[in-house]
Chain A
């Protein structure tokens, strides 16, 4: 029988500063270890996820952008800022896709990790801290956002729905839009004990935002008293920003305001995540 473990260091050797693996990592290096766990996990399912990432924008842009868009365009383009409905819709859908990806990736997978598979608990027994586990998962969600938004942008371009090279800037912006959702929702999801709470988020959060945040029609079409509600939602900021970049109509102050709003939400989420993960994993 070969020795399985190397002889333990001399008993009671002074603990001293720990080299390598044990040293509490500054910043995000421990989070990268959790991120790599998610990558390994994703290797099994990435193909299927790519199919739906391509199929979704194709279906939406074809059915609504082209199909419904033909009818809309027949009424004149003035209210859409002089562009075709497809061109108007596509950047809005890009932001909405980011939201959908973010919410999907930051709800059930969190519950699976802490409650069903207990892989979070497995990671907690290693040097990783709860904040590292939260951040590592968030890095993976960021990667998924980048993938889905890139695919969406490529499909958009293939449909000829792009007016400006600034659309390339809409890509990181939509990733940020996703993070404005994912960071706080991931932080909240670990406190949830029943997955029915997630159904509420989908029904009363995601779907109304999807429909009324300016993705399908300008907010100006809403009754005046509802508009402030739309302005307060992160998706509206993401849609407005993405659209202004795609159409080449962005101005500096508006862009900064939108970016700031989204960034603040993401930062609040990251700060909250360290606390909520600790609260659930260290009992």
Chain B
């Protein structure tokens, strides 16, 4: 990959708040046109990293270069080329949908005709055209999120930063957001997002880093990470509470690459789940429920950190 394709580069990037180290000397490179994710649980340092990229949080140490510029010295120049969808909506709920875009366009120094033209297009894109004159306050969470995305695109950004873009949304609203983001990616916008949803990371990200405790635990494409840190299939077993521990002891005899005993389930990592389930039954164990599934990033995270993502 030629070097000039790298839009964001971090080396030893560190952010401390007093004695607390939120981001601990991480390295990553984000390339033009890709969708890059920071996957990790709450408190992993994802949002702190995003704020540093957004030039609203000076790094404590290390190097960070965005579009070839320095975020501390060139904040306004960089931000003029970024779009930001923050974790918490920062819409002006007392104004109308259209006024929110007008205000934001002005922040970027755009003229009124340009803002009007883009507003029409963007509201169409996020399916809010019929709400253009409505006040923002009564809109649903999903609509507000889509409006925030529209607002973040008013300056036609080269890089779109999305911090937990679908946290708090119902499944339908999440899919609507994913669909819009997928279209943007196809149009060549570089997406940088944080998430603690493994399905979101798998759906949207070309490449991602798994973060935990301020550090990067692993990086690669979702597929590569699963191949490197998990098995093709997972057998999930649920036993009666009374038998849970005893069953876990017996299952050690099943030839699996790895076993995870969670509070409510036992996970066996192996190449062929159906064959293994037959083996489990031969041991005289009868699970209440069993499920054979493909490995996901959740399994990768469990393997890397010993914890689940959404706990």
Of the stretches A116-124, A164-172, A226-234, the one at the interface is A116-124
Which residues, 1 to 59 on A, are CB-close (under 8 Å) to B? Answer: 1-9, 11-12, 14-15, 18, 20-25, 30, 33-34, 36-37, 40-41, 44
Instruction: Evaluate whether A126 and B153 lie within 8 angstroms (CB atoms) in the complex, with A18-B77, A22-B76, A119-B92 already known.
Output: no
Of the stretches B182-190, B236-244, B268-276, B289-297, the one at the interface is B182-190
Quick check: is B4 within 8 A (CB to CB) of the other chain?
yes
Quick check: is A128 within 8 A (CB to CB) of the other chain?
yes
* Contact, CB under 8 Å: A7 / B76: no
* Contact, CB under 8 Å: A117 / B92: yes
* Contact, CB under 8 Å: B76 / A5: no
Query: Measured between C-beta atoms, what is the minimum distance from A185 to chain B in Å?
Result: 23
Quick check: is A283 within 8 A (CB to CB) of the other chain?
yes
* Contact, CB under 8 Å: B76 / A122: no
* Contact, CB under 8 Å: B157 / A128: no
Chain A minimum-CB-distance residue to B72:
A282
Of the stretches B98-106, B166-174, B255-263, B278-286, the one at the interface is B98-106
Q: Give 1 or 0 for each of B70-102: 1 = CB within 8 Å of chain A CB.
A: 000011111111101010111111110001001
Quick check: is A281 within 8 A (CB to CB) of the other chain?
yes
Contact of A12 among B5, B51, B58, B103 (CB under 8 A): B5
Complex: A281 Cα to B75 Cα, angstroms = 13
* Contact, CB under 8 Å: B95 / A24: no
Quick check: is A258 within 8 A (CB to CB) of the other chain?
no
Quick check: is A160 within 8 A (CB to CB) of the other chain?
no
Question: Chain B contacts of A71 at CB under 8 A?
Answer: none
Complex: A128 Cα to B95 Cα, angstroms = 20
* Contact, CB under 8 Å: B109 / A5: no
Instruction: Evaluate whether A126 and B125 lie within 8 angstroms (CB atoms) in the complex, with A15-B69, A22-B81, A23-B76 already known.
Output: no
Complex: A122 Cα to B109 Cα, angstroms = 15
Complex: A11 Cα to B190 Cα, angstroms = 10
Quick check: is A127 within 8 A (CB to CB) of the other chain?
yes
Question: Chain A contacts of B78 at CB under 8 A?
Answer: 22
* Contact, CB under 8 Å: A1 / B183: yes
Chain A minimum-CB-distance residue to B79:
A127
Quick check: is B227 within 8 A (CB to CB) of the other chain?
no
Chain B minimum-CB-distance residue to A15:
B68
Quick check: is A200 within 8 A (CB to CB) of the other chain?
no
Complex: A44 Cα to B95 Cα, angstroms = 8
* Contact, CB under 8 Å: A40 / B103: yes
Which residues, 149 to 173 on B, are CB-close (under 8 Å) to A? Answer: 152-153, 155-158
Which residues, 99 to 131 on B, are CB-close (under 8 Å) to A? Answer: 99, 102-104, 106-110, 121-122, 124-125
Question: Chain A contacts of B94 at CB under 8 A?
Answer: 41, 44, 117
Quick check: is A252 within 8 A (CB to CB) of the other chain?
no
* Contact, CB under 8 Å: A24 / B76: yes
Contact of B106 among A1, A7, A11, A37 (CB under 8 A): A37
Instruction: Evaluate whether A118 and B90 lie within 8 angstroms (CB atoms) in the complex, with A12-B6, A25-B76 already known.
Output: yes
Quick check: is A78 within 8 A (CB to CB) of the other chain?
no
Quick check: is B56 within 8 A (CB to CB) of the other chain?
yes
Query: Measured between C-beta atoms, what is the minimum distance from A111 to chain B in Å?
Result: 15
Question: Chain A contacts of B92 at CB under 8 A?
Answer: 41, 117, 119, 122
Give B contacts to A, CB under 8 Å. 2-7, 17, 32-33, 51, 54, 56-58, 67-69, 74-82, 84, 86, 88-95, 99, 102-104, 106-110, 121-122, 124-125, 152-153, 155-158, 183-184, 187-190
Give A contacts to B, CB under 8 Å. 1-9, 11-12, 14-15, 18, 20-25, 30, 33-34, 36-37, 40-41, 44, 117-119, 121-129, 281-283
New A-B pairs, 17, CB < 8 Å, besides A20-B109, A126-B79:
A4-B183, A4-B187, A8-B32, A11-B5, A11-B32, A21-B80, A21-B109, A22-B78, A22-B81, A24-B75, A37-B106, A119-B90, A122-B91, A125-B56, A125-B84, A126-B80, A282-B58
Q: Across chains A and B, which 6 residue pairs bring their CB atoms closest together, nearest first?
A: A12-B4, A22-B80, A126-B107, A11-B32, A21-B109, A122-B90
